[in-house]
């Protein structure tokens, strides 16, 4: 694990990986632009496991006390993750392009608070929405597959091995080993968690 701010070789963005981002040395991040909206001051604001990767278009939009964990071998292919409390992404989880995962709407509970937030925002450098509305942690378990353009809303938990179809909007928990799809998402079918036969070019019939 690396513990000081560092740049990435060949990065087009003149940023750094923040010191409180702890990456396994095998983890890959394409550009530090992914951290351009990371404002967290938590000690371990960002952790990324063995063999995990985050490609161009991925954004770790982490608020002042937010913490985001990306499990081992997880693959983020351009997801926007908004995290003001806690977001966890499990091992082997696949995240397609334009996926939105958010543990907060950054919206306020009253009109007066909404306007006050936007008035504060206009005084910040860089500008950011600092909602005082508490978020609801999002947990995405191991071996989940999120299709492109999927939105995961605050408080949602996605069970192990589940698949969320492309363009789905998920506002309720997803049971392990199920397929959900639609906007809003609904149950489509069960998957067989015991199906462990590995199909390779040599054993495929």
Partner 1 sequence: MSDSIAPVDVPWSEDRLPRNVHIGPNSIISGQHAFKRFFCQKGKGLTLGDHCTMDAVQFAIGESGQVRIGNYCYFSNVVLLCELELRIGNYVIIGWNTTITDADFHPIQPAQRIVDAIACSPTGKGQVRPILKQEPVVIEDDVWIGPSVTILKGITIGAGAFIEPGSVVTGDIPSQSRVIGNPARIVGKEN
For partner 1, the binding residues (CB under 8 A) are: 5, 13-16, 18, 20, 33, 35-36, 38-41, 59, 80, 98, 100, 102, 105-107, 109-111, 114-115, 118-119, 121-122, 126-127, 129, 149, 151, 153, 167-169, 171, 183-184
Minimum distance of partner 1 from residue 98's CB (angstroms): 6
Strand-strand pairing, 21-23 and 46-48? parallel
Helix H or strand E encompassing 87: strand 86-89
Minimum distance of partner 1 from residue 17's CB (angstroms): 10
Closer Cβ to partner 1, 85 or 176, answer by number: 85
Q: What b/e sequence results for 43-73 when a residue is b if at least 16 CB atoms lie within 10 Å of its CB, and e otherwise? A: eebbbbbebbbbbebbbbbbbeebbbbbbbb
The tokens of 161 are what?
């091995």
Minimum distance of partner 1 from residue 190's CB (angstroms): 24
Structural Rg of the chain based on CA atoms: 18
Closer Cβ to partner 1, 45 or 89, answer by number: 45
């Amino acid at each position: 694990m690396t513990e000081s701010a560092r740049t990435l070789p060949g990065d087009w963005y003149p940023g750094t990986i923040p010191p409180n981002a702890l990456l396994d040395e095998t983890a890959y991040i394409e550009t530090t632009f992914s951290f351009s909206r990371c404002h967290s001051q938590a000690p371990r604001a960002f952790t990324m496991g063995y063999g995990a990767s985050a490609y161009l278009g991925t954004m770790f939009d982490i608020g002042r006390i937010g913490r985001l964990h990306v499990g081992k071998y997880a693959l983020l292919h351009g997801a926007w993750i908004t995290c003001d409390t806690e977001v966890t992404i499990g091992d082997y989880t696949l995240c397609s392009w334009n996926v939105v995962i958010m543990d907060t709407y950054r919206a306020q509970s009253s009109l007066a608070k909404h306007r006050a937030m936007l008035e504060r925002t206009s005084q910040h450098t860089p500008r950011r929405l600092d909602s005082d509305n508490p978020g609801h942690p999002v947990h995405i378990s191991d071996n989940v597959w999120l299709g492109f353009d999927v939105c995961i809303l605050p408080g949602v938990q996605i069970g192990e091995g589940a698949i969320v179809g492309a363009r789905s909007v998920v506002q309720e928990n997803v049971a392990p080993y199920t397929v959900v799809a639609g906007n809003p998402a609904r149950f489509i079918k069960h998957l067989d968690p015991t199906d462990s036969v590995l199909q390779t070019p040599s054993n495929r019939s």
